[in-house]
Chain A
Amino acid sequence: AQKVTQAQTEISVVEKEDVTLDCVYETRDTTYYLFWYKQPPSGELVFLIRRNSFDEQNEISGRYSWNFQKSTSSFNFTITASQVVDSAVYFCALSPFLTGTASKLTFGTGTRLQVTL
C-alpha cells in the first residue's frame, strides 16, 4: 500500500520568508513518481512538479525548489522569498511507475500555506 504524510496542517509566514513544506511517503514499489500540486482559492489543483524515484537530483524552478531524499523517503518543497500569491493548499502525491500505463495518485492531506504582508 502507498501512503503520503504531510504532517504540517497549516503554516503561516510573513512575505519574503522562506518556507519548507514536508512530505514523507511510504511505498513498496521500487520505482515510482512523486508530485506536488498547488490548490489556490479558485479550487483547481495545479501541477507543479513530477519526480522519478531513480532521479535524486534536486530541482529548482525560480523561487521553488524540491529536495528528494530516497534514504528518508522524503520529498520536501521549499518556497524562497514567499509572496502573498503563494497562499494556497499544497498537496504531495505518489504514484507507482508502470511502463506505458497511467496510474492513480495517492495524496497527502495537504498543507495550507498562508503568506501575509
Chain B
Amino acid sequence: EAGVTQFPSHSVIEKGQTVTLRCDPISGHDNLYWYRRVMGKEIKFLLHFVKESKQDESGMPNNRFLAERTGGTYSTLKVQPAELEDSGVYFCASSHPGLIYEQYFGPGTRLTVT
C-alpha cells in the first residue's frame, strides 16, 4: 500500500510568488492534516480535513494560505503571496476512519522563500 505522498519535495521561490503544494493521502483515509516545521522549531498544526470538509483550520497563519481538498481525495496548500517567514518543511498526514488517532506522515515539502 502506498504511503502519503507529497509534491514537490523541494520548492525554491522568490518572495511575492505563489506556490502550491500537493498531498496525496493513503487510499481510504478520510482525515488529512497539514503541518509545518519552521527551521529548528516544533512541527505545528495548520489544518485538518475530514473528507472534503475543513474540520479545524485554527493553525493557518493568515489568509495568504489556502487549503483545498476537492472530492475528498488529494489536497493542495497554496501560499500566495509567499513571504520569507513561510520557509520551512510542510508535512501532510492522513489517518484511517477506523484508526483516527494514528496519523501517517508524508516526507514533506521543503519550501524556501528567498
Contact = CB atoms under 8 A, between A and B. Distances in A.
Interface of A: 4, 33, 37, 42-47, 50, 91, 93, 95, 100-110
A104 B42 contact: no
Contact of A102 (B48, B106, B108): B48
B50 interface: yes
A109 B42 contact: yes
A42 B105 CA distance: 12
A43 B37 CA distance: 12
Interface residues of B, number: 29
Nearest to A33: B101
A37 B48 CA distance: 19
A95 B101 contact: yes
Interface of B: 3-4, 31, 33, 35, 40-45, 48, 50, 55-56, 59, 89, 91, 93, 95, 100-108
Given A47-B102, A50-B101, A110-B42, A102 B50 contact: yes
Nearest to B97: A102
Contacts of B31: 102
Nearest to A4: B42
A93 B108 CA distance: 18
A107 B44 contact: yes
Contacts of B104: 47
A44 B107 contact: yes
A47 B4 CA distance: 13
Residue in A47, A102, A105, A106 with the greatest tally of chain B CB atoms within 10 Å: A102
